[in-house]
Structures are given as structure tokens and as C-alpha cells.
Structure 1
Amino acid sequence: MTAYGYHSSHEQIPPSRLLRHVVRAQEAGFDAAMCSDHLSPWLPEQGHSGYAFAWLGAALQATDLPFGMVTAPGQRTHPVTTAQALATLTEMAPGRFWAALGSGEAMNEHITGDPWPDHETRRRRLHECVEVIRALLAGEEVTHHGLITVDRARVWSLPAEPPALIAAAVSPESAAAHAGWADGLITVGSDPRAAAEVLAAYREAGGRGPARLQVHLALASTDDEALAMTRRHWRNAAVTAPDSWDLDTPEALADRAAGATDEQLRQAVIISSDPSIHRDRIAQLADVGFDAVMLHQVGADAADQEAFIDVFGERVLPELRGAE
């Protein structure tokens, strides 16, 4: 049976309120939760970006949900520090935590002052980071010299079982390239055909483990309000890779997203006031073969988040489960 999770959007919501939302999501019947590890929001007016690792300690304690995060080791966060954080969270919440590892975005990584590498270099750096993190989570002392450098590192507080390390990929090419090391896959999108292509590429390359899909949606009182919500809070969705990887400030991305059309927003976000339309679109995506669908309500206001959680808990999630 497909699991339906709540995406906790640090880029839009202060961490204290986000914690209340995820507790409410558990009470409403969501099966899981996830977040991303960013230093910056996508747009200046989103206005937040809490430290995901610290927040996850509180969220895992406050709920019984399994949690995941998307993070990018290798530049802003050294893989040894990443491994230590993953080990601590998993030791405190055995069997409830996974981490998706990606190659990152310049917006978050440029702060070190190091050059932003090209995509192929970032992919190779990620593979090195995965090898280092796995060895550290296995209790090994690690020294490594390559695109990253590690000198006699060891993580001392280890969980009984290491967390799953899954691949974060937005294209079939990336999904296939990461299949060899990943314990699972997470991708993002609202088009069943495109999502199916990413998943198929991962499986055909030998990719194992559960597959998750993150879906952006806008639920409001009217269709016009849902579209306006998307434009106000999540028009960054109209800026796709490689621009979304390479723009280095929220202001630069806001400039690029300024001309987003209604059609571009509708391609990236499920926009509707009708819960049944959301239900049907999500069911189509789940039918592609994803084990979990992680749902992100793009409206950042407290009332928007609470209405989404309550409507989905009362109606949409039971109907999705009843149809399986």
C-alpha cells in the first residue's frame, strides 16, 4: 500500500510552526514526513530556512512518523559531519529515518567561497561522499583524498542499523547514474509520464529499494486563489534544472521566475480547489509504482497548511487508501 507523507517546507515556514504542522499531520493520518536541508529559501519573500538536522531531532521526538530528508554533502556540509548527524538521528529513532543525498544547488553551497563545480564533477563528488558516509556509518576510520578530503575520521555514536541512503534525482539520467549506490530513490514532479521515466531508468540500471515521489500542490477555496497562492509562494517551481542548480541567490531565482506563466505553474504544481482533483492526480502518480508520495502544500500561511492537513486527513487520504 502506498504511504502518503507530509513535506515540511523549511524554506517557507519557521521551524517552531513547522513542528506544530507535522504533529497535526500525524494526528490527521499522514503516514510519514520529510524535509529538505537548505541554507536559503528559494525566493526572498519565502523568508525562512531552518536548520533541518536540528529540527529533525525535535520532529522525531514529537511524533512517531518515519522521516526523511534531502541533503547535499560535499561543499557546505562535509561528508564526515553529515555522517555524524545521520548516525545521531538514526540512533535516537531506530528504523524511522532515511536520507536522500543529492549534488546540491549553488544557492546553498556558494557560501563556502569554493567554485561551484559543473554537474559531472558534482556527481562524482557525491559518489565519493556516499562511499565515505557508508564507511563511517559502518564504524570504520576513514582517510580519503579526491574531490573531498578526509583525514582519519571516525563516527563514534552509531545506530544499530545505518539509515537508508537514497538517491535524489530529477532526471532519468541522474536516476540511472545513482542506481549503483542507492538504497532507494526520491524524485519530484506532477506528470505521471515524466515520473515513470525517472523511476524506470532507476530500476533498469539496477536500482533497488523503495521509490518516493515528492508532489507540489495548491489547495485553496477557489481555483483562482490556488493559482494565486502558487504564484505568491512557489513560483520558483517554474525554474527547472539546470537553472535551479546554478543560480546562486534567492534574488537571482526570483528574477528568473518573475515571468512564469500560469501554464508553467500548472505543469509544476497540482492547482485546484477541488479535493477530488487532487485525489485523482495523486492516485495517477502513485500508480506509476511509487511506494510513498510526499505531499507539499505550497501555501505558507498557517491557515493554508492547516486546511490542507485537515482536508487531506478527513477526505483525500482515506479515499486514496480505499481505492488501492
Structure 2
Amino acid sequence: MYEVRRLRLLRDLSVHGTVAATAAACSLTPSAVSQQLSILEREVGAELLLRDGRGLVLTEAARVLVRHTERILAELEQAKAAVSALTSSVSGVLRLSAFATAAGTLVPDALAECRVRHPDLRIRLAERETPEALGTLKSGGVDVALVHEYNLLAGVTDPGVTVIPLGTEPLFVALPKESVLEPNADGELALPELRGEQWVAPKSDMALRDTLERACGLAGFVPDLAYTCDDYTVILALVRAGLGVSLVPRLAVEAVAAEVRLYPVVEPRLTRTVFAAVRAGSAEVPSVAALLAALRRAAESILG
């Protein structure tokens, strides 16, 4: 009989890629992870991991186990939800992860609502961007993760994760007030008109960077990335000072007082969809369902 704990470690290794990263995500030592995976190999009677330079790759046997493990873990989450639903109480500690612009806009209203509706529920918030948040969610480090995807890039597809769409927001181009560029009759700005402008781009949000570069490529030019920064207050301050233009999500504008001109982008049209992600099978856990409902209402009021 295979132990679920060891199967979960193998699944987590498939997510994080290295023993060290898996150990960090699971609050274990690398030697403990290696030991448990070695025991699992003996239980299975087949090689699960192969050395590839300094890294490890999963064998076909390991990939088969991971696929079955995803289903097992989803069933366990469903069992937890079914047992929890036997009580009408929404209580305990729930761990929420959110990317920065959601943490400053959607989350406060949702948490305030949960505090009023469910006073025995304690929600702990940590700020994480989408790739890290998904890995932490799958490893059990958080229970709900706010994540996003851009329409020009591949979306979140993972059998161990259920994503609930909360809303889609436009991406705006931010211009200094003295810019001579003018929107079309619909109040939108065509990306090809920004050829030759300098850009202020995010430093760590590589998905937005990739979206900017891909969109500009579709518009026929390569963006001149003059400045990079992760703080939207700084990004918009640089735009306001006339040092460049920037591509910003609507939630970033909601969270920061922007003294710049903002126009939705077309040619191509750019959007970002916000999701609440949970482990497969866990959406009906009463505390999780309560937070998801509050997040939906907060998103509806802000994103429409």
C-alpha cells in the first residue's frame, strides 16, 4: 500500500522541479524528502527519478503515479468538504494568497465581509505572484490563491487545481498628461501608435512583460524597455514625469492614485482574467466556500 504522504511528495516534486524547492515548499529538509522518495521507489518496485545534470526528471512510472495521485488528493479534499459540511459552522483558520494588485483591491472588501458574516473564521493573508501561489497552493501552504492570466498567454491548466473566474479586466496604456497621442472615438488607443515610445515595465511580473513584448510584436515593433519596477506607484510616477509609457492592469489603477492618462489597448486588445484557485475537490469546504463567495462579490463590485 502506498502512503499518501509520499505520493504527495512525488507530486510536489513534479511541480517544484527540485528536491530543495520541494523541501522548502513542504517545510522539510532535502534529506527527508529524498529519504521518503527512496522509500516510495522501493514500495513501487520501479525507478521513479533519473538524474539529468544537476536536476531530476520523472520516469514514466512516476508520471503515472502523479496522475493517479492528483485524483486521490482531489478525492481526499472532497471527503474533507463532505465531513465539514455536516456542521453549519464556518470557523477555523483559512490561508489566502493574493497577487499585489488584488491584495490591495479585492481582498480588503472580501475579508471585511467574512469578518462580519463569519466571526469565527480567521483568514491569514500572504502576498504571492501567480507561479509561486499555485505551487504553494498545491503543496498545502495556502487554501485559496488569487491568480491571473493574460489573454495572449497560455492559461492555468493543472488537474490538481480548480480555478473559479472572478472577472476580466482591461489592460490600460498609461501616458503622461502632456502626451500628444489621442484615443480613437471609442476612447481606446491602438498599440501601433506607441511605436518609438520608451516603456516602464514590471520587473518581476514576467507574464505581463511577456504580454507587452508579444503584443508589441503583433503590432510590428519591439518595445524599448527604459525602466523596470515592481511598484505601480513608482511605475505611474515615472509615467507622470514623462519618462515613458506603461501597460497596467485595471486593478493597479484602482489601488494607486494615478495622475496619468489611461486608455484601453486595442490592436491587439489586451485583458487579464482574475481567478480564485483552490485544490481540486476543496471548493465545497464551508470556510473555503464562504471566502470564495465574498471574493466573487468583491470582484463583481470592482471588475463588474
Shorter-normalised TM range: under 0.3
Greater RCO, CA 8 A, separation 6+: 2
TM-score (norm 1): 0.26
Structure with higher strand content: 2
Rg comparison, structure with higher value: 2
TM-score (norm 2): 0.28
